[in-house]
Structure 1
């Protein structure tokens, strides 16, 4: 009797595992789009001479403003909780948009963080104030920039230049709206934003797997 029970378990368990994971894929919940098709980054001076673009990249986007070095603790939080975790993903980047005149302060932040992190995918882009405001407006945000063209929030932009966040009922059934994530709060970055970046990365992984599977069948 014991022998038959073991054989039954060996036969049934793989089928149950397959059904479980297949159901998980089908029920995979994508991160909602808050604003579709935001503007690409305007062409300006950038610290790494890369001419960064939002196209084809999963971007963490921020507006630290002219007082970024004063608030460099926010950059440290972002570096530790988000940037370092996803730095090795080929299509991941972090872009900070600043007014001209902030170049020296931005370089000081990079210099401070470089001993603890590879900063090759962390870029600062410098624009005129009116260019920053126009670009920010294209995100369709409820929040506003302050007088120094700064926001404490950072934002997730997907490869198709869609702003992603939370919109709808959460796990406990309460309505939730989140368009950005506060760099002041290490807990919010560590919990909410980390989870949401994982979801966006998983979306593209899943899409790539489906594409490769379809391609192999056609061949």
Structure 2
């Protein structure tokens, strides 16, 4: 029996090829497949219909694993979001980013936000899909009780309504212990982000695209290739 895990690519990372030329979608997906990827994580539909996106992915042979959808878009019309991505065949809807006013560094806003997350997650679960949260570094702030804000979030919301999409790069940047969080949430991480990064001392541009040489200079370009 093969233990090979399916590997997908974030379409967000290919956005420059698609944002102004959605007609390139099929060609880009063909190239993704040729590189050996099994599936994709969508990040918007670039003006295409869900039916067209599904048709292309089916033809090319890529699985629509998950989709990053802005929380504001979910709050505006969650029924439509669910319907669109169900047509494509997406199983995991992912909140990609937490607005500043709701982050753990602002405990009142954070506590106000958790029930909102739970409500959205329950509706997604009831529709037969799974709601995931994609972290950056700002979730890993110690709360008054000493717990990470990240842990408080997942302790406060039932597993059925919210699961991690652990971003190992951002987690490691913030805590230095991405493997520890993988073990802590074992069995609850259906999708995981794996990225390389550069981190030397207090360097601000903590990671760059693989293959980009680090500039040895006192100045910092702040280059971020991935999210």
- With structure 1 as the length reference, what TM-score do the two structures score? 0.28
Greater length-normalized contact order (CA 8 Å, ≥ 6 residues apart): 1
Structure with greater Cα Rg: 1
- With structure 2 as the length reference, what TM-score do the two structures score? 0.28
Structure with greater strand percent: 1
